[in-house]
Amino acid sequence: MKTLVLSMISIAATVAAMTACTSESGNDPINEIEKGSEINITANVLKAEVETKAAVTGNALEGVQILRKDAKTADAGTTNWETTPIEVDIVDASTNIFNSQKQYYKPTGENAYFIGFYPKGSVDDSGVVTFTSITGKEDVLLSNELNAGARGSATSDLKLTFSHKLALIKFTFKQGTGYPADDQVTSLTVKGAELPATMKLSDGTIAYTTDKAATGISAFAGGSYTISSSGSTTNDADALMIEPGKDITLDITTSKGSFTVSKVKINGSDSEKTVEGKQYNISITFNAKEASANATINPWGDPISGEGTTE
């Protein structure tokens, strides 16, 4: 699986008015929706591979959930989103993301509003998304609210910008002084953080589960990462996306024994926490009696270092 993590996904959307025509005979009734203007949204994206259960790779994205509502400008704040998402795939910069499910402006003059989120979830009338199968392997993203204008006054130069809502954690295992060269890491569990349960569309507020901090979130089990002097880094499938802002500990099992990183420090500080939209690469060095950990960051944000010790 290939992963290229970006700090955000920018979707440039253009809206074109396309007026429907009557039949040649002039006798067929014209549907009111067809009389409106079609909404064409195209996406500027980079070619990349995407898996639904991995950090989003590049600017291509499959299975994006789009919600719509139609309202006069003065009523937009009190009008609920539709609860059935429009599922789209963002493929390239020239394809209308609504090609398979056409969208039109209302003939009655309301503005069309759109918002997007990822991955799938059920939506209630209050605009809260409920996730039912988050395991720590799923990227959670939310876009801005897009006002596409109304029939006859379509907004131009539109953008949906998706941002990451979780902290991405990866791991590297290194052989330190006096540590044997033939050991392998077989499992790793992160404790201290939770997983998303619901997300409020209006401001991106996430409510988290309440049982994972104590029981742990498994990054992988049955692994075979060699502890080497040059370092062995977990593949993308074994990364985790978890609640930011929490102190985390690591339970690590190798073929020779078990280790606990009692606390992962960020930039060597006890007070600095993980942040949403940041990718933390935690490097764990195994010495003769213990293991220590430090971290750096990649494309989701500026480099951040972290460290910890195992007992």
- 115-170 pLDDT, tens digit each: 999 999 999 999 999 999 899 999 999 988 989 999 888 887 667 778 889 999 99
Residue 101 C-alpha from the chain's centroid: 24
* Domain shared by 268 and 148, yes or no: no
* Domain shared by 127 and 173, yes or no: no
Weakest-pLDDT range from 14-28, 46-60, 193-207, 296-310: 14-28
Q: Please tell me the predicted confidence (pLDDT) of residue 290.
A: 73
| Domain contains 213 | yes
203: left (phi over 0), alpha (psi -120 to 50) or beta: alpha
| Domain contains 1 | no
pLDDT band at 58 (very low <50, low <70, confident <90, very high): low
Q: Please tell me the predicted confidence (pLDDT) of residue 194.
A: 98
Q: How far apart are the C-alpha atoms of 26 and 145, rounded to whole Å?
A: 40
* Domain shared by 185 and 158, yes or no: no
| Domain contains 2 | no
Weakest-pLDDT range from 156-160, 175-179, 298-302: 298-302
Domain that holds residue 139: 8-164
* Domain shared by 143 and 18, yes or no: yes
* Domain shared by 16 and 156, yes or no: yes
* Domain shared by 193 and 264, yes or no: yes
| Domain contains 125 | yes
Boundary (domain end) residue, out of 114, 147, 164: 164
The model scores a pTM over 0.85: no
| Domain contains 40 | yes
* Domain shared by 134 and 173, yes or no: no
Boundary (domain end) residue, out of 164, 195, 220: 164
* Domain shared by 143 and 288, yes or no: no
* Domain shared by 250 and 117, yes or no: no
Number of domains the chain contains: 2
| Domain contains 236 | yes
Boundary (domain end) residue, out of 164, 185, 213: 164
* Domain shared by 156 and 45, yes or no: yes
